[in-house]
Amino acid sequence: MAQVTLDRLTKHFDDTPVVKGISLTVADGEFFSLLGPSGCGKTTILRMIAGFIFPTSGAVHFDGQDVTSLPAHRRNTGMVFQNYALFPHMTVFENVAFGLRTRKVAGPEIADRVARALDLVGLTGLERRPVPQLSGGQQQRVALARAVVIEPDLLLLDEPLSNLDTKLREETRDQIRELQTKLGITAVYVTHDQEEALAVSDRIAVMEEGECRQLDRPEVIYRRPANRFVAAFMGNMNLWEGVVSSERGGTVFRHESGLTVPLPAPATPADEGAPSSPSAEAESAESAKHAEGAVHLALHPQAARLTGDDAESTIAGIVSTRRFKGATVEFTIDAGGVPIQVVENAVVPMASSQPGDTVRVHIPGDQAVILGD
Ligand SMILES: Nc1ncnc2c1ncn2[C@@H]1O[C@H](COP(=O)(O)OP(=O)(O)OP(=O)(O)O)[C@@H](O)[C@H]1O
Ligand SMILES: [Mg+2]
């Protein structure tokens, strides 16, 4: 078990900065994700934590000890790679045993520990199987067994599921989280898939171009993105540019098209269901501060509702596209030139609205987030 601290961690390749002063702490036993688009520096950070490469400046601490210049083999981390990196000419048993043999563990103990690791990942019985005769999911579980068999202080996973199909990805994702919880091991998980990060993480750092754009619990990042980059990256949110002003005793967001959304004060509500974190409160204060001037309003398509009523906080529009997705139906509503993305539960009557239909969209101001950048 280990607490990991990155202190102004920076990496340049040929004078090009790809990691730009990242500071964060991963708590002991935490499942922490680095999430961001391709090329934002996730793998580079993970490799500096593992000790495969060294920072240009800044430091890495494990449990308060400076390990910045310690080579990989002296850090006791287990690593799982996207492409498994198994030895193809070896059996499952030998692949998992490899790290124990290099550590000169005695034969009978190797047999015991490999058996336990294979049991943990559900591969008991496949010990003698050569690696090329395993499915992708099985190979990834061998890679996981090989990483945990050495009883690492820290488990590092670099996009471990990207070679698997959707169903297997979800299954393996849940197995990884279960295993991490069971072993109580600290995990740093790299992915570009927001749903995956939301599903498994205790906390997520959302990265863009070598910088951390938001670090918080999944619920906070999803419901209260700190800026437009996170809002766009986390879920295809509606983003409208406009101004916030005080009108008739309340606060109102006004889009140039005339679309107005009454906002509660403060502009963003407390997180539902979970105690709000200090950073959520800070964001709330931040949102309230942007009460004047040009801002963006962000709203999840799932929060917008189609309605037949001419009630308050609704806006008229025409259905321009309808996509049936099974459990949900995705709509684009043209509200006087403003496209509004709406995701409806497929079972509600309004979900049968068709292109060309006139509808009203309810915009719940209490679920909207006002972004200053
Ligand atoms: N050894 C290297 N030499 C030069 N440039 C590198 C090297 N390794 C990575 N880079 C560059 O650093 C940037 C960050 O790369 P990195 O692999 O960390 O991104 P990533 O977030 O893991 O992306 P992906 O999701 O595609 O794996 C990229 O622009 C990449 O081309
Ligand atoms: Mg990568």
pLDDT in tens, 92-149: 999 999 999 988 999 999 999 999 999 988 899 999 999 999 988 899 899 999 999 9
Predicted TM-score (pTM) of this structure: 0.87
Q: Could you give phi then psi for residue 261, rounded to 5 degrees?
A: -130, 115
Q: Which atom of ligand 1 is nearest to the CA of 46?
A: 18
Query: What is the model's pLDDT at position 324?
Result: 97
Count the Cβ atoms, other than its own, within 10 Å of residue 145: 26
Mutational test site, ligand 1, from 40, 157, 192, max ligand atoms within 8 Å of CB: 40
pLDDT category at 280 given cuts 50, 70, 90 is very low
> Residue 309 is inside which H or E element, if any?
none
- Domain co-membership, 283 together with 199: no
Q: What is the mean pLDDT of residues 227-252?
A: 88
Ligand 1 within 6 A of CB of 39: yes
- Domain co-membership, 242 together with 186: no
Ligand 1 within 6 A of CB of 324: no
Q: For the ranges 10-14, 102-106, 305-309, which has the lowest average pLDDT? A: 305-309
Q: Are 30 and 187 in contact (CB under 8 A)?
A: yes
Q: Count up the domains in the chain and report the number.
A: 2
Residue 84 pLDDT exceeds 80 = no
E-only strand ranges, 112-178: 154-158
Boundaries of domain holding 204? 4-223
- Domain co-membership, 255 together with 218: no
pLDDT category at 27 given cuts 50, 70, 90 is very high
- Domain co-membership, 63 together with 182: yes
Residue 359: CATH number of its domain: 2.40.50.140
**Cα of 192 to ligand 2 centre, how many Å?**
8
Q: Are 106 and 113 in contact (CB under 8 A)?
A: no
What the block records as the tokens of 266 is: 């403060």
The span from the CA of 180 to the CA of 199, in Å, is 14
- Domain co-membership, 149 together with 201: yes
Asked which of 223, 255, 290 is the last residue of a domain, the reply is 223
Question: In this predicted model, what pLDDT tens digit does every residue of 32-67 receive, in sequence order?
Answer: 999 999 999 999 999 999 999 999 999 999 999 999
Residue 247 pLDDT exceeds 50 = yes
- Domain co-membership, 108 together with 235: no
Asked which of 197, 223, 249 is the last residue of a domain, the reply is 223
Question: In this predicted model, what pLDDT tens digit does every residue of 161-219 receive, in sequence order?
Answer: 888 888 888 988 998 999 999 999 999 999 999 999 999 999 999 999 999 999 999 99
- Domain co-membership, 218 together with 252: no
Q: Look up residue 313 and give its amino acid.
A: S
Residue 373 pLDDT exceeds 60 = yes
Task: Find where tokens 């190979």 sit.
Answer: 139
Asked which of 223, 242, 257 is the last residue of a domain, the reply is 223
